[in-house]
Amino acid sequence: MIIECVQSAGIDVRAWGFRKKDGQPVTRPQSNGGYCYEWSFRSVDGSILLSCVWFEEIGVDSQGRVCFVGNLRAYADALIRQLEKDPKNRNRTIKDPRISRAQHFNATVQLAHLNSAPMRVVIVSGPVREKEDEGDEFDRAIGRQLDDLEWFVESFDDDTGAFVLVRGNRDQGNVSLGKIDTEGFPTQSGLGIVSDVVVADQFATDERPDTYTYKGVQRYRDPSVRRQVLERSEGGCELTEVPGFRMANGGVYLETHHIIPLSEGGPDTVENVIALSANAHRQAHFGAERDQLRERCLEVVAAKMKRHN
C-alpha cells in the first residue's frame, strides 16, 4: 500500500489517520482519500522528496541508465485547457484533483533540482489510469514498491517544466568525453569536434545518400549541417541536456534530427536540425506529444542560434 511506501521512505504518516477537512479520525488511514491518491509526497521539513512513477512509463536511455522523462506542468496545463473547452466543466477546473497532484509533482521535482537533492521513487505497476474516478473499484495499480536506490534530477527546464529523473547515483550519470582518432569514421565531414572530442551521429558509420527527393525535385544534403549541429550540442542532447553516451571507439554519440522532416518540405539547415539522445529522437518521431516536441525543438534551436549569433 502507498502508505507503507511513504512511511518506509521516512515520511511521517500520522496525519493520514485524520480527515484533512475537519480533522476527524478515519477508520482506515491507508485509504484516506486526502493522501493515498497523491502522486508525490514530502516530509514536513522538505528533506525527503518522494514521487510515484509508473513502471510502464520508465525507460532506458542511450547510456543504459534507467530514467523517467516527464512534464507534469504541461500535463496540468493541457488538462485545464481540455476542461475549459466544455462550459459545464469551467467551474470544475480548479477542483479537478489531477491538476493539483500534477502541479505538486512538478514542484517536488523542481525542489529536488534546485537543491541538488536526491529523490525517492515509488514504482507503481499496472495499466496507467485513464479515469479520474477514485475508489477501490477503479484502482488499476497491481503493485507498489519503494525503490531501494535514490534517483536524481538530471535536468529540469524552468520554462517548460520538462524533466529527466535518473535512477542511481548522480556521479554515475556523468559521461567524460575522451579523445579519439577520427580515422575510425568514414564520414569525417559530418563529424563534430568539441574540445578535441569527436561527436558522431547515426550517419557517421552508415553512409546516407547525398540527395533526397521532395515533390519530384532532387535536392542535395549539406554534410556540414550535421557537423555544425553536433558541435553546437557540445556533446549533449539539445532537448533534454542529457550527455551523449560514450562509444566503443571513444567518441560521443548523439542523433541528428530534422525538426520539420525533409519529406514535409523542411530545410536541410542548422536552424531545422537538432542533436538528440537516441531516446529523445524516438520520442520526437513516435511519442504521443511529438507535435509539442517539434515546437519545443524549434524553440530550443532558435534560442541557441540567437545566442551564438
pLDDT digits (tens, 9 = 90+) for 139-155: 567 889 999 899 999 88
Q: Give the distance from CA 221 to its chain's centroid.
A: 31
CA distances from 108 to 53, 64, 93, 129 (A): 13, 25, 22, 21
pLDDT digits (tens, 9 = 90+) for 214-261: 777 777 777 788 888 988 998 899 998 888 888 776 778 889 999 998
**Grid-cell match 519545443, residue found:** 296
Q: How far apart are the two ends of the chain, measured CA to CA in Å? A: 54
Using alpha carbons only, how large is the chain's radius of gyration in Å? Answer: 23
Mean pLDDT of 43-58: 90
Helix, strand, coil proportions of the chain in percent (round to 5)? 35, 20, 40
234: left (phi over 0), alpha (psi -120 to 50) or beta: left
Phi, psi of 116 (to 5 degrees): 50, 40
Name 193's bridge partners: 198
DSSP class of residue 205 equals S
Name 274's bridge partners: 257
Range in 38-42, 133-137, 151-155, 215-219 with the lowest mean pLDDT: 133-137
pTM: 0.54
